Structure 1
């Protein structure tokens, strides 16, 4: 199956982002293809996606999908398109952001850079909480332990090598002692509370009416602060103006690019000029490091 998109599209950047955050047993990047397991309503499957033929009439990625329920295929493809940010028209975003000379320079160097989405909101929120105040690599190692202990073994034929589990469901995490995986007890409590909240409200990670509604729904959860809420709003709710201003990577990137120290307050003030596309500006800053 081909997944068409409106160019430009920077697949190497998207693949690099996914590879750096790939959870062992759940995801795999091999060559120029990304693969992962999926689970919906207790049914397991997997998909693999990579670049299409450069000589094709319409630019596209090539998707290989296995899921035993054919009625779910359309919704799965829609979720993959959101994950890969295939439907965004970058032209108006670039016109606005390029009024800032720094953004103009970054966009010129990566004109097809997209904002990666998420396969599942609960999974993304768990990843974000695991990543609080630690490196990406450390968070991914913790996530791998979580998947190995609480995820179900993948029950799907023909899965690519390395895919062994699906991500744990909220019910599997709500009452678990997650701190035993090697994280602060307060973070384990946040994850357990997040799982219980997802059980109590199945629409917790459904699209909201605005960025403000998205943030308020997340900030009401114990242990979820501004950084986590903006990160989830950007990647799950696809709020293009979400902006985790306290992110160390963003602060360091702006400081390195402009050659002088920057704090979170100064970064947030600078980002006012990037509204309503601060999330895309953030992706360019993250990628610039």
Structure 2
């Protein structure tokens, strides 16, 4: 099935696909010739989806999924994942009051905030990324998918598994994959929390960050990252993030403290998450 998902231009697909390519989990995601493909699972049914640039201000989607009744849910998830409903003009007018952000906005006027297909998957990525590099975290995620994911029969090369189910992860010995035992317990606890509260990662709900912070092993950085990319809180902002501090050092010649960044970011509310994406992306360009 082919679909077109429209958006209000501009849209920086190169930045979006580059972000996803750098974090693609082996067996579950690929980015080939600018087209992002991944395995998906809803209500125990599995399939695949591919997304790439289309014509007339739209992303082109190729969907292979046997249950057509969940098409509205798939479309809603894709629109959130690719940030297709963002009011860029409103965010940009506000953030452009900061001269540095004004320059970054002029360079990347169509930049969006990448979302996530699934809340549990995104939470696992965030926890796996604590205190290690993106590459190391993605490697661990690939091992997790290969060990505990559900095998998938797909015609798309490289897509062999879907992300593991929460009931499997809640009882698994995840530390055996090569991570600290405490982190393995945190991951299993997150999976159990989702089983206990199926709305844990539901976007745009009040109190989402507070519910995340109540979980064992989930600190402010992780909660804010999940809030930005899954709960779709555009004010989600991991203040002490090393990448944000490094970006400001490269762009302005001085590395701020986490406290200084937090104070400066107050003026960016309620779009601190979009500001963070601008800063992260500036590093990926090598500025």
**What is the TM-score when the length of structure 1 is the normalising length?**
0.96
CA distance in 1, matches of 2:179, 2:37: 28
1:166-210 CA distances to partner (integer Å, 9 max, x unpaired)? Answer: 000111111111000000111001001111111111111113543
CA distance in 2, matches of 1:21, 1:238: 19
Give structure 1 stretches of 5+ with no counterpart.
Answer: none
CA distance in 1, matches of 2:208, 2:17: 27
1:5 to 4, 7, 14: 7
Residue of structure 1 in register with 2:37 after alignment: 35
CA distance in 1, matches of 2:100, 2:170: 44
CA distance in 1, matches of 2:278, 2:255: 19
CA distance in 1, matches of 2:157, 2:237: 36
Residue of structure 2 in register with 1:250 after alignment: 244
Residue of structure 1 in register with 2:132 after alignment: 134
Residue of structure 1 in register with 2:187 after alignment: 191
TM superposition shift of 1:77 = 1.1
2:233 to 219, 233, 239: 239
TM superposition shift of 1:108 = 0.3
Residue of structure 1 in register with 2:163 after alignment: 167
CA distance in 2, matches of 1:236, 1:179: 25
1:231-282 CA distances to partner (integer Å, 9 max, x unpaired)? Answer: 0000111001110001100011011111012111111111011011000000
TM superposition shift of 1:47 = 0.4
CA distance in 1, matches of 2:208, 2:196: 17
- Cα–Cα, structure 1 residues 274 and 194, in superposed 2: closer, same or farther, change >3 Å? same
Residue of structure 2 in register with 1:145 after alignment: 143
Q: Secondary structure at the match of 1:86?
A: coil
CA distance in 2, matches of 1:118, 1:207: 11
1:19-61 CA distances to partner (integer Å, 9 max, x unpaired)? Answer: 01100000000001000000111100100011113xxxx3111
- Contact 2:204–2:233, Cα closer than 8 Å, also in 1: no
Say yes or no: does 1:283 pair with 2:281. Answer: no
CA distance in 1, matches of 2:18, 2:145: 22
1:1-289 residue pairs with structure 2 within 5 A? 1-53=3-55, 58-155=56-153, 157-158=154-155, 160-210=156-206, 213-289=207-283
CA distance in 2, matches of 1:99, 1:267: 16
- Contact 2:28–2:160, Cα closer than 8 Å, also in 1: yes
TM superposition shift of 1:2 = 1.0
Q: Secondary structure at the match of 1:234?
A: helix
CA distance in 2, matches of 1:278, 1:124: 19
Give structure 2 stretches of 5+ with no counterpart.
Answer: none
1:154-175 CA distances to partner (integer Å, 9 max, x unpaired)? Answer: 14x53x1000000001111111
TM superposition shift of 1:109 = 0.4
Q: Secondary structure at the match of 2:49?
A: strand
Matched positions, count = 281
CA distance in 2, matches of 1:208, 1:27: 26
